[in-house]
Structure 1
Amino acid sequence: MEAVQPDESQAITEHPQGIADKLENDEFAYLKHDGFSSEAFKIEIKNLPKHYGYAELKKLIIKTLTLNACKIKIPKQNSSFVFVCLRSDEDRTKALDALNGYKWRGNVLKAVPANPIKDPLIRKRKNEDIEDDASRTKQIKTAVESSEPLGNVPYEEQLVMKQQIIDDVLKHFKVELRRAIRFQGKFKMSEYLNPTFEMLPIVPSPQTSGYRNKCEFSIGRDASGEIQVGSRVGSYQSGSIYVESTDGFKMSPQKMKDAANIFKKFVAKSELDVFSPVTCEGYFRQLTIRLHNDDKEMMLIVGIHPQKMTEIEKEKLQNDLVKFFTEEDGKCLNVTSLYYEEIEKRQSGQQGNVIKHLYGSTHVHDFIHGLKFRISPTSFFQGNTKAAEKLYQEIINFAGITPSTTVLDVCCGTGTIGLCCSKLSKKVYGMEIIPQAIEDAKHNAQVNDIKNSYFAVGNADDLITTMIKQANVNDDENIVAIVDPPRAGLSTKSIQQLRNSKKIQRLVYVSCSPKQAIKNFIDLCKNSTKTMKGVPFEPKIVRAVDMFPNTNHCELVVMFERKKVEEPKEDVEENNEVTTEENADGQE
């Protein structure tokens, strides 16, 4: 790496403008901020094995070797080297001692100190030698161009473009599946090499503008230095730290844009400055708006970077917020729920930010398929309510639910999918890692008088097998798994549990990022192995649902079924041997 260690003797003035001036010339000044200091205690781990997963590496570093790592950076998939950031010089020394010479999966690891990277914003500004801030933005797309790249394309043409994107993703899936099977070295089951499935036409969104029920607005300054509550232009990496108004956005309802502009008045009048990603100074950082129940219910979540604010100062700010939205300029918005949130760099083990209810109802509500759903500030809920009706109907159609079907709702959020399936099924079992979402799911079941649903808090890795056993389905019954994971998809461990459960004969996978879901698709469909012991799935029906008009994105729904074939004989023997060894170990 070209970076050099920063001179620790160089001090930075505490005044924000002084820090900004210093940053214009010092590519390592950011290390003085608490949120980034770990970059100064970085190591490089070399000679990693050819095939490993991020989860495996994280387990080795944090659980097995008990190293106090706060960040793991893998340059590319299955890279032979990675970078790990520690929290102190003492932690770095411990890591070097533990990793050097450690044998992992047949490879002897080597660890060396690594230099911190240069600040990308300062480096870019130096390289471009730009004279003023205004000229810098000419090379950056506007907020609207970045967020709504199809905003000027007729909607029918948007659907054609998205259908082509999905077609390309599925072609790539076929190629990668063939490659994975060849890597396994098993060619007997030739029907795996060219999966065929029915491709249904894309489902359009009933609403193409003003459809978003949740938006997160950044708070900062535009190129002229004026305060804005809107959308970040570009990125820190690209050299842009500006915020633009979202008045020109099509996806945000007018009431949301009005709320952002009215809140800007509060920020402008406040003695507290807006947050700056350059100096890590300032307080106002983000405004989240939820708008539900046909725009009748509005929740605002004001995100603050508290720094060293005292409790008295925080309380004053919170009281000022309530007064603004109940007695002053913000009163016209008829805000039904107001929250205060503290946004700081998360500590190890911390799952969420500090959030406090200030005024009004603690929740907002919406309706899908005739059911009423309660939504908490941190709970996931589909961002396009009217299109969600269409999406859930496709899921129900693909699932083929009967009165004897048990539904396993993986990553259930507030229980929307599972509860919409409940009236057609025998039982519904849902799991979600966010505790508040599960509270909402249980409440939603109660409010809608649904008594055949069960929800649990926890990671899917730990709950899938447990909940399948808890379901205790009869021999003549089966389980339909419905998977709606975050953008990155499910972990390998979760896919293993779904593969290995013989009771699951059908699986409906819902993805908001089909390209990233390909790995999960391949793991579901490739030949059996010692870890993926179950008979593989195969895709049967595929359909895209446009949840995000004016963007390049859409949801993809894929229905998988178990292949109606025997497992390869060689794999059965392998699995029997493993089982025998496990039994022998258990008896000992």
Structure 2
Amino acid sequence: MFHLVMFLNFCLSRTAEDGDGKVSSGSDVYRYIKGDLFTSEIFKVEIQNLPKFIGFNDLKKFLSKHGLSPHKIKLFGKQTFAFVTFKNLEERDRAMKAVHGVLWKGRVLSVRLAKPKADPILRKRRQDAAAAVEGGEPPTKRQATDQEPEESEEPLTTQIANVVTPLWNVPYEEQLRRKAQEVEEVLQRMAREIGNCNKAMLPWLFVQKEKYNKMCCPLEPIRSSPVQTEYRNKCEFLIGVGADGEDKTVGFRLGKYKGGSCAVVGPGDTIHVPPVTKRVVQDFQDYIRTTPYSVYSPETYEGHWKQLTVRTSRTHQVMAMVFFNPQKLIEEELNVLKTSMEMYFTEGAGKGSGITSLYFVRNGQRASPNTEDLSCEHVAGEKSIHEELLGLKFRISPHSFFQINTLAAEVLYSAVGDWAQLDHDTTVLDVCCGTGTIGISLAKRVKKVIGIELCQEAVEDARFNAQSNGLNNVEFHCGKAEDVFPTVLNAIVSPKLTAIVDPPRAGLHSKVILAIRRAEHLKRLIYIACNAKAAMNNFVDLCRAPSNRVRGAPFRPVRAMAVDLFPQTIHCEAILLFERVDYGSAAEKEELQPTTN
């Protein structure tokens, strides 16, 4: 034991000193803030005593009014503080002077410097080394929650399956039961929340809870996915050092970076990735191993190869998007690389992967692969791929949203069409419409479809898709839903209006909910939630009692169902049908008068 302690102390001292005997930052968990690399962590402040119930955009606009342009805002839900980072020291200091002591909505704000986050990997290494030196003492409870589990004796294939498809060894009927149970719990919680914010609904809620096992509305049997394996038409793969030690490995990360893990395992044995995608991954991995460029390291921010995204379709088309950090490479070097990549996948060893659309994405050091402001360059093949859904054809561009399980999406959209009670006098508002799949699938049954979508590429695809399917009663608007929706809604004079919303995981912006509430001619709303728990605030705001802030009659949930778009995982889609409350009596109208709260 003595020799082990001496050895570990020697290793720690070696990482703490360089060859000249000078102290190095090799084991410093804040090393990344001291190098010549941009990180907003060193320009971070904490704003305390914020007003309750403000949103991200509320805080952003407030800061903008004071001449501040934050780099990043992290607001802590219903808590009254936020972390705000800036791009330089000058802006950070200016924010502290401009905001500290300011009165906002009855609250006096307080601003103080915030400590940067410790690098998770270095923190874990230091904790592990310290624990070993101290005789293997277990980490504290807080440390244990920050770390990855101890090394497992299970094969890597089992370990990665547990990460990306955690229900892979659970019978499918049991998977469906668990997902239905989760939606049932959401509806039970909704009943409690609605009762707390709208006392007028309590008699109705009492009857609903008695009839539907404490839920606010009936929950229909869950709809299963027609296919339970190899269903993903879009997969995102990280590029890093493999868990087996192989460099330049393309696959899924075995753990979370914040838990101290960067190891990557290939998708070869995963059951939700189709064979054609696995072939692309293997060929691409073979290719990058022939290049002199290293993988990007989230620990040091050095290296180049970052991510591979593969999209496939039932029409046998394949799109590959390669995310690459140029670092200090000159344009000529990048052009040589792109030409090499094109030759490899069109004429070389990678031709058999069947890639029909190839993109090269210049990904900056601190940028996220999910943002749309990246330099996305078309390298080879077609600029898009095409998919068939419910007998219709859809064009899909690199950044356009399309449900990742095409067959299950047909089940989902068919249910939406059945619930919407459409006829030729109906106008459908398709909010967060992506490539227009929902609205276009319903267009022949209604008078008009109006879609709203943030991504410009997706809007262009949606317009093309409407035209290619011979539809002339469909229009699409590009912009943030909270900016576009109120204007579009106010311009509609249709006596029969139905809204269908399919927002991102975080739900709709509060401005959209308020606009929906004000539009009294909007009687029916179908909400598609990929995370019903995260959308709870939306559900409650649709149903809460009218007030000076929330105007218009509330909605009631009248029907719900889960649809399994993600077999082998814990996730599913939930559909909720809301109908506007129609208060007929004078007494009930009196209850709808705005309150002062």
With structure 2 as the length reference, what TM-score do the two structures score? 0.87
Q: Secondary structure at the match of 2:288?
A: helix
1:561 maps onto 2:579 in alignment: yes
1:68 aligns with 2:69: yes
Deviation at 1:224, TM superposition (A): 3.8
1:90 aligns with 2:110: no
For 2:232, which of 184, 187, 212 is the aligned residue?
212
**Secondary structure of the residue that 2:558 maps to in structure 1?**
strand
Which residue is equivalent to 1:586? none
For residues 387-434 of structure 1, the C-alpha deviation after alignment (integer angstroms, 9 at most, x for no partner) is 111110001011111110000000010000000010000000001010
| SS of equivalent residue, structure 1 residue 68 | coil
Q: Which moved more, 1:511-520 or 1:216-225?
A: 216-225
2:293 to 272, 278, 284: 272
User: Match of 1:423?
Assistant: 444
- Pick aligned residue for 1:483 from 501, 506, 510: 501
Structure 1 residue 188 displacement after superposition: 7.7
Structure-2 change in CA distance of 1:97 and 1:314 (3 Å): same
1:197 and 2:217 aligned: yes
Shift of 1:286: 0.6
CA separation in 2, counterparts of 1:85 and 1:542?
A: 40
Report the equivalent of 1:47: 49
| 1:271-420 map, 5 Å | 271-294=292-315, 296-344=316-364, 345-346=366-367, 351-420=372-441
Q: Decide whether aligned partners of structure 1 residues 319 and 507 sit closer, same or farther in structure 2, where only a CA change above 3 A counts.
A: same
Letter in 2 for 1:505: K
Report matched runs for 1:163-202 at 5 Å: 163-181=180-198, 186=199, 190-192=203-205, 195=208, 196-202=216-222
Q: Partner of 1:467: helix, strand, or coil?
A: helix
Unaligned 5+ segments in structure 1 are 1-12, 579-588
Asked whether the equivalents of residues 429 and 471 of structure 1 are also in contact (C-alpha less than 8 Å), the reply is no
Partner of 2:137: none
Supply the distance in 2 between the matched residues of 1:255 and 1:469 (Cα, whole angstroms). Answer: 47
Deviations 1:424-459 (A, max 9, x none): 000000010101100000000110000000101111
Contact kept? 2:307, 2:324, Cα under 8 Å: yes
Alignment partner of 1:470 out of 485, 488, 491: 491
Contact 1:53 1:78 (C-alpha < 8 Å) held by counterparts? no
Q: Deviations over 1:518-550 (max 9, x none)?
A: 111111111112222111111111111110010
1:156 and 2:173 matched: yes
Aligned residue type for 1:391? L
Counterpart of 2:539 in structure 1 is 521
Structure 1's 415 and 198: CA in aligned 2 closer, same or farther, altered over 3 A?
same
- How far residue 143 of structure 1 moved from its aligned partner, in angstroms, is 2.4
What's 1:138 paired with?
152
User: Normalising by the residue count of structure 1, what TM-score does the alignment of the two structures yield?
Assistant: 0.88
Q: Which residue of 2 aligns with 1:8?
A: none
Is the Cα contact below 8 Å between 1:137 and 1:240 reproduced in 2? Answer: no
Q: CA deviation at 1:36?
A: 5.0
Question: In structure 2, what is the Cα distance between the partners aligned to 1:52 and 1:498?
Answer: 19
Trace 1:224-303 onto structure 2 (pairs within 5 A): 224-226=244-246, 227-294=248-315, 296-303=316-323
Task: Kindly indicate whether the alpha-carbon contact (under 8 Å) linking 2:148 and 2:261 is maintained by their aligned counterparts in 1.
Answer: no
Where 1:388 maps in the other structure, the secondary structure is helix
Q: Structure 1 502/33 Cα, relative in aligned 2: closer, same or farther at 3 Å? A: farther
- 8 Å CA contact retained: 2:307, 2:323: yes
Q: Which residue is equivalent to 1:106?
A: 106
Q: Give the direction of change, closer, same or farther, for the CA distance of 1:194–1:49 in structure 2 (3 Å limit).
A: farther
Range that drifts further, 262-271 or 563-572: 563-572
Pair 414,135 (structure 1): closer, same or farther in 2 beyond 3 Å = closer
Q: CA deviation at 1:309?
A: 1.6
Equivalent pair of 2:148/2:260 in contact (CA under 8 Å): no
Q: Is the 8 A contact 1:23 1:122 kept in 2?
A: no
1:508 matched to 2:526? The reply is yes
Counterpart CA distance in 1 for 2:24 and 2:289 is 26
The counterpart of 1:546, out of the listed 549, 555, 564, is: 564
1:104–1:188 CA distance, 2 compared to 1 (3 A): same
Cα displacement (A) at 1:53: 2.4
Cα displacement string for residues 458-478 of structure 1 (whole angstroms, at most 9, x for unaligned residues): 1111111222233332xxx21
Partner Cα distance (2:341, 2:427) in 1:
47
Alignment CA distance shift 1:385-1:148 (3 Å):
same
Q: Sort the Cα spacing of 1:573 and 1:270 in 2 relative to 1 into closer, same or farther, 3 A.
A: closer
CA 1:163 to 1:307, structure 2 compared with 1: closer, same or farther past 3 Å? same
Secondary structure class of the residue paired with 1:436: helix
Q: Is the 8 A contact 1:137 1:223 kept in 2?
A: no
| Structure 2 residue identity aligned to 1:78 | K
Q: How many residue pairs were aligned?
A: 547
How large is the Cα RMSD of the aligned pairs? 2.6
Q: 1:34 to 1:443 in 2, by over 3 A?
A: farther
